[in-house]
Amino acid sequence: MGPGQVCDPVRAIRFTAQRRRFSCEGAAVKILVCCPQAYYSGPDSIAYEYESFVHCPRRMGHRVHHFPYIYLAAAGREAMNDFFLSIVRNGGYDLVFVATGEDEFIPGVLDEARAHAVTVAWNADDDWRWEDYSSKLACHYSFMVTTYRDVYEANRRAHPNLLLSQWGCTGLHEGTSTAKDIDFSFVGLGYGQRLAQIERLRDELGLIAYGRNVGAARGWKGVVKRRAARFLGIAYDERSRELPNQQAVKQIWNRTKVSFTVMLCTKNPALHEFYEPDGEFVEYETLEECVDKARFLLAHERERSAITRRYYERTKAEHLWEHRFEALFKVIGLPPFGKE
């Protein structure tokens, strides 16, 4: 899938009345981005959404202002909405881009904001919250973006302002020259079945897990390891190995030969639209298959390096945020790149 194919311009043609006209193709777009700024580990860190939706459009040459609506709404929902609307009324924005949260925005406020600028909602987790959340707010934005093709196909007729796009790569943390000194790692949140998977991969392949709720072994194995550590006088880390910021997350991935749930992930046909299985990433259906494929990749450097190289090249060519925004802006009638 190439640039420009992740959004459907046919669905958006009905909304040409809201499109902005520019005197030249390279005009900078003035954007108000409403998204989190802080990574979960602390207020001074940077969230992936901030890197994606603020840094990347700025790198394209656009004028981007940030509005931390979730943080402000926690102090007062109505006050945040009043503040937001005053900024939109007077800011001269071409685009108001909202990474959706929960019920922070009042629908009537979104309706008025749409009269002053093109408004776009970027949804996450539509696989489980489309019916209860996203579908009810779609009519209050100029456009709403889903990243799930099945949700898009099932609802685009009822919601003709619904667009299809996908998450992208920031390109901010280049790692091709980084030494691969971690064999097998996981970065993320430990919960449910994933905890059992992490424990087995730790035992069988020495997986190193980073993130929230993944630090200490659980169950009887954890008890045995803690007691053995005390008996031998070895320090045993009971804490979750939480990473402080996105740079630390990317450093772990860049140092890793095989990343569980990234390079090696559960079979999902939706991924085949973006990457070639076994050619650009590796998929599995059972945990036994995951263990076997991880062993193979760790034992065969040439094959592993070829897969990671092809994954890298495909990402750089088609899946950076610049590609996502270029396609999205074309659909909604904004110039893709700002002035140099």
pLDDT per residue as tens digits for the range 208-218: 999 888 865 55
Confidence class for position 229, pLDDT limits 50, 70, 90: very low
Residue 186 lies in a domain: yes
d(CA 21, CA 54): 23
Domain with residue 56: its CATH number is 3.40.50.2000
Average confidence (pLDDT) over 304-317 = 96
| Parallel/antiparallel/unpaired status of strands 30-34 and 264-266 | unpaired
Do 31 and 162 belong to one domain?
yes
Same domain for 133 and 203?
A: no
Q: Does residue 1 lie in a domain region?
A: no
162 lies in the same domain as 194: no
Phi-psi region of 226 (alpha: psi -120 to 50; beta: other; left: phi over 0): alpha
Q: What is the mean pLDDT of residues 136-152?
A: 98
Clarify whether residues 224 and 167 are in a common domain: no
Domain assignment present for residue 258? The answer is: yes
Residues 232 and 190 sit within 8 Å (Cβ to Cβ):
no
Could you tell me if residue 57 is inside a domain? Answer: yes
Mean of all residue pLDDT scores within the chain:
87
Q: Residue 338 falls within a domain, yes or no? A: no
Residues 11-47 have pLDDT tens digits of 443 444 344 444 344 578 999 999 998 866 566 678 8
When pLDDT is cut at 50, 70 and 90, the band that residue 231 belongs to is: low
Mean pLDDT of 221-233: 52
Q: What's 296's domain CATH number? A: 3.40.50
Of the candidate ranges 50-64, 234-248, 289-303, 324-338, the one whose mean pLDDT is the lowest: 234-248
Residue 47's pLDDT is 86
For residues 27 and 110, membership in a common domain is answered with yes
Between 223 and 284, the more confident residue is 284
* Rounded average pLDDT over 132-142: 98
| Whether 19 and 150 share a structural domain | yes
Residue 275 is encoded by which pair of tokens?
């990457």
Contact 118, 19 (CB under 8 A): yes
Q: Are residues 82 and 48 in the same domain?
A: yes
In a shared domain, residues 140 and 215: no
194 φ, ψ (degrees, to nearest 5):
-60, -35
Quick one: average pLDDT of 141-167? Answer: 98
Least confident of 21-25, 97-101, 228-232, 328-332: 21-25
Q: Residues 166, 34: one domain?
A: yes
What is the secondary structure of 94-137 as a DSSP string? SEEEEE--SS-S-HHHHHHHHHHSEEEEE-S-HHHHIIIIIHHH
Q: Please report, for residues 166, 257, 318, the alpha-carbon distance to residue 324 in angstroms, rounded to integers and kept in the order given.
A: 7, 28, 9
Looking at the 3D structure of the chain, how many domains does it have?
2
> 3-class DSSP state for residue 70?
helix
Q: State which residues form the domain around 291.
A: 182-317
pLDDT at 43: 64
Single pTM value for the model: 0.83
Regarding predicted confidence, which is higher, 68 or 22? 68
Return the higher-pLDDT residue of 236 and 175.
175
Q: Which residue has the higher pLDDT, 9 or 115?
A: 115
For residues 46 and 39, what is the distance between their CA atoms, to the nearest angstrom? 5
pLDDT at res. 338: 73
Question: Both 194 and 163 in a single domain?
Answer: no
The DSSP H or E segment spanning 32 is strand 30-34
Asked whether the predicted pLDDT for residue 239 surpasses 50, the reply is no
- Is there a single domain that holds both residue 203 and residue 85? no
Answer yes or no: do 186 and 303 share one domain.
yes
In this predicted structure, the answer to whether residue 128 has a pLDDT above a threshold of 60 is yes
Residue 63: C-alpha distances to residues 66, 88, 175, 216 (Å): 10, 15, 28, 45
